[in-house]
Amino acid sequence: MQASETNPKIAILTPNLYETDFYAWTKEQVSLLRNHQWDKIDLFNVIEEIEALGRKERQELRNRLAILLGHLLKWQFQPQKRTNSWFGTIREQRIQIKLLLEDSPSLKSCLDEVFLAAYEIGLALAIKETQLGEQVFPEASPYTLEQTLNPKFLTNILQDPFAPGEGSDLAE
């Protein structure tokens, strides 16, 4: 047990509980917040966890963009190996990114920065999965952010993705 910094007479389990049973700690902190027991809140760890939640949202955006970009590169540079799985992944990532941005609109402010980092990861994914070699792929993204998120770009979901000549023109 540790004494509260604001009231040394109040002994709380919070710091130890944070380290030994995270779920119980979260339940305790929620209860303290709801009951306005501000002096008992494990403020340091609550702040850390809230910051971590924000980082996770940003990381999820980056990871989904990376998967999307990697699959767009595979779709463009290895058209003979296109599969329903690739198409599904592209469609699903676009949908999930759209939902993520709707749920957390402030993520839009870091989209350009995240997009650059995501391309590097997506490029590595495409190189590894296609085994074409890095010289085949552009060093910088050949797609704009708007193109990447556009459901009609490269893989027009309104048309058959495997039809000859469909979904392969960068000028769409």
Q: Are residues 106 and 21 in the same domain?
A: no
Q: Are residues 145 and 61 in the same domain?
A: yes
pLDDT at 3: 44
Contact 71, 56 (CB under 8 A): no
Report the chain's C-alpha Rg in angstroms: 23
In a domain, 93, yes or no: yes
- Range(s) of the domain holding residue 74: 54-149
Q: Are residues 33 and 58 in the same domain?
A: no
pLDDT at 125: 97
pLDDT at 118: 98
In a domain, 167, yes or no: no
Q: Are residues 96 and 141 in the same domain?
A: yes
Reported as a single tens digit per residue, the pLDDT across 109-133 is 999 999 999 999 999 999 999 999 8
pLDDT at 170: 33
Q: Are residues 21 and 75 in the same domain?
A: no
Q: Are residues 13 and 79 in the same domain?
A: no
Handedness of CA 158, 163, 165, 167 (dihedral sign): positive
Reported as a single tens digit per residue, the pLDDT across 67-93 is 999 999 999 999 999 999 999 999 999
| pTM: predicted TM-score of the whole model, two decimal places | 0.76
